[in-house]
Amino acid sequence: MKKTNLIVFMLLGAFSFGQVGINNSSPKVTFDITAKNSDGSTPEGFLPPRLTGNALFAAIASGAYGPAQNGTIVFVTESSDVSNQVGQTVRVDLPGFYFFDSISNEWRKMGNDSDFYSADGTFSSTRHFGMSNYNLGFTGGRVGMGTFNPDPSAILNLVSTDDGFLTPRMLEAEMNAIANPAQGLLVFCTDCFNNLGCLMINDSNNPAVPDWESLCSSNISTGHVLSLVCASATTSGTLQSGVAASGVTTTVPYTGGNGGIYPSASFSSTGVTGLSAKLAGDILLDGNGTLTFNITGTPSSAGTATFNIIVAGKSCAFTIEVDPFTASVLTLECNSGVFSPGTITQGQTYTGTLTIPYTGGNGEPYAQLSFVQNGLTFTLPAGTLATGSGNFVYDVTGSAVASGAMTIPITFGSTSCNVSATIATAMTVEMCMGPGVTKDWSLYNLGADTTFDPHIPVQQIHGNYYQWGRNTVVANASTDPAAIVGWNTAIAPDGSWNTGTEDLPVKNTINDPCPTGFRMPTRAEWVALSNNSSVSRMGTFLVGITNFGSALIYSCGTNKLTLPASGYRSSANGALANRGAQGLYWSSTERSINASQAMNLRFENTIVNPDVYNNRINGYSVRCITE
């Protein structure tokens, strides 16, 4: 149909009937369109004006849409930039049909603007929702199932008179393979205890060292023994008066065990006081076995320490002799103390020794000594002093918690001194990326001052801002917040940071700003980090040019990655936006359907999304990952 004929036809329809028909002569409503061909041979439909979300945002300034435009329909071809999702375009976050609602003064999605998060309703059939390995989180309220009014004391309230709560069911091997289980995590182990099955809880407060304990009483019987044989108890290690027990254990035999469980217990000493015999809960053998007690505390004097124990329905008493502490030295030469290896790095496992010279040894024996400082365990094995000068050699194991200066108190009898050491700041941290999968990430934003603690958000650790695909620093945490003169608005091409694939990334060394041994993380790596980490926040998350104190924290067991909420430099002119309230970190991944956009991590006070996209010209933070 020619345009002139169409115009004439529409005018005739309007004047003759007050209605317009396209491809039909009998319109049933004001505007009635009939397909020219209904067999699929030609494209048919109604094509409304097509605009980008940013164009609708730009229209706010001119007041283009108001009460007179109520009900206007457009098709949005590209969502508004995150920074433009405000005012009338606050909901324009996806491509699709939108209509203008002048009452709320907002563009609203057609057909999908209301869901069960924003409106009450009733499902008419079963629903299924694929998570695609993404997380779904709820904050700031309570969830009720079977009730409209969750109990005020519960974050999750399940109400039913004919259904129960079923915990995840898995094999013991699968339970033990859970990476960094939180203390209190519940699972039902289907093959534990000779396939009887049991509800299990992780009692450990260290996710890296789980301790799965039984919550069963019917499938697993309460432990009973025929007798405890304290007369045959054996003790390993030595106790000395006034010296904290270290490495001392006592083993007590039993007879007639029934294979049941027994709980953890602690028994205080009598006679010589100040000691405890601690028993970890476990399962008895069927028949004869042994119980091992860890002796802790500091004996009040020399003599005999007696422990009256009650386990598995039986009782007995065992004793340990406490020797007098007669060993002494004249001086401890802490200034001459030497670590081997000499470098201790924060957060990295250390195994070595600390040697402390002494003078005036009296040749007497001494028990094992042990203490913990800054996450490191110092153990002096039992030995005998030299007569005169000698060396104490402490075994040192563990992982230093804090970097910088560390003071190590050394005490032997009444003589003491302090060793001064410096803990090197770690540059990387191992983070969980999936079951049995880890990856080392840089502890600092690119451009940060690495002499500062990476987990205390201050200006010095915010680092630089980079445009996607480039290695040029466009701003840093000290740059003036105003627009940047000469701001580069050219789009970097695909492959600028990754010449490989999403699964097998290859660093583009020409453009990648990360140092040797590191590269830009992919979108998939940000997603894996987010899905396999616990998330917490610190700071106010309020916009402020001088608000450097907000940060997102990813935790994997005892390891953590702290990301400052540095805001970003705007694609329009490089001006600073949203510092303190928002963090945006580039990935090396392009957005496949739009050559002007790339994928990034975005977080705010209530959201974390590792799979969003935005204009490549924006200046975002960079956090490198090891190659």
E strand residue ranges, 324-348: 331-332, 338-340
Q: How far apart are CA 553 and CA 542, in angstroms?
A: 17
What is the predicted pLDDT for the residue at 14?
45
Q: Domains of the chain (ranges plus CATH)?
A: 50-109 (no CATH), 169-214 (no CATH), 227-323 (2.60.40), 331-423 (2.60.40), 428-626 (no CATH)
Q: Does pLDDT of 3 surpass 50?
A: no
pLDDT (average), residues 123-134: 69
Q: What share of the chain is helix, strand, coil (3-state, %, to 5)?
A: 10, 40, 50
pLDDT tens per residue, range 454-500 = 999 999 999 999 999 999 999 999 999 999 999 999 999 999 999 99
Q: Does pLDDT of 9 surpass 90?
A: no
Q: Does pLDDT of 509 surpass 60?
A: yes
550 touches 581 (CB < 8 A): yes
pLDDT (average), residues 60-82: 93
Range of lowest pLDDT (130-144, 180-194, 488-502, 571-585): 130-144
pLDDT tens per residue, range 395-454 = 999 999 888 899 999 999 999 999 999 998 889 999 999 988 999 999 999 999 998 989
Assigned token pair, 268:
């205080």
pLDDT (average), residues 524-547: 95
What is the predicted pLDDT for the residue at 15?
46
Q: Tell which wins on pLDDT, 512 or 146.
A: 512
What is the predicted pLDDT for the residue at 502?
94
What is the predicted pLDDT for the residue at 124?
66
Burial readout 478-517 (b: 16 or more C-beta within 10 A, e: otherwise): ebeeeebeebeeebbebebbbbeeeeebebbeebbbbeee
pLDDT (average), residues 1-26: 59
113 touches 82 (CB < 8 A): no
Q: How far apart are CA 445 and CA 431, in angstroms?
A: 16
152 falls in which pLDDT band (50, 70, 90)? Answer: confident
393 touches 410 (CB < 8 A): no
What is the predicted pLDDT for the residue at 5?
52
Counted residue by residue, the chain has a size of 627
Q: Tell which wins on pLDDT, 550 or 94.
A: 550
In three-state secondary structure terms, 8 is helix
What is the predicted pLDDT for the residue at 2?
45
Nearest Cα to Cα of residue 33 among 21, 41, 42:
21
Range of lowest pLDDT (80-94, 101-115, 180-194): 101-115
292 falls in which pLDDT band (50, 70, 90)? Answer: very high
Q: Does pLDDT of 17 surpass 80?
A: no
HSE of 99, CA atoms in CB hemisphere, 13 A: 10
pLDDT (average), residues 245-258: 96
Q: Does pLDDT of 112 surpass 60?
A: no
* Pair type for strands 376-380 and 349-362: unpaired
What are the residues whose beta carbons fall under 8 Å from the beta carbon of 11, sequence distance 6 or more? none
Q: What is the mean pLDDT of the chain?
A: 91
* Pair type for strands 369-373 and 376-380: antiparallel
Nearest Cα to Cα of residue 180 among 213, 211, 200, 208:
208
pLDDT tens per residue, range 347-401 = 888 999 999 999 999 999 999 999 999 999 999 999 999 999 999 999 999 999 8
Q: Does pLDDT of 237 surpass 50?
A: yes
What is the predicted pLDDT for the residue at 20?
82
Q: Tell which wins on pLDDT, 458 or 129.
A: 458
Percent of the chain with pLDDT over 90: 69
What is the predicted pLDDT for the residue at 13?
45
Q: Which residue has the tokens 């003169």?
A: 485
Q: Does pLDDT of 155 surpass 50?
A: yes
What is the predicted pLDDT for the residue at 242?
94
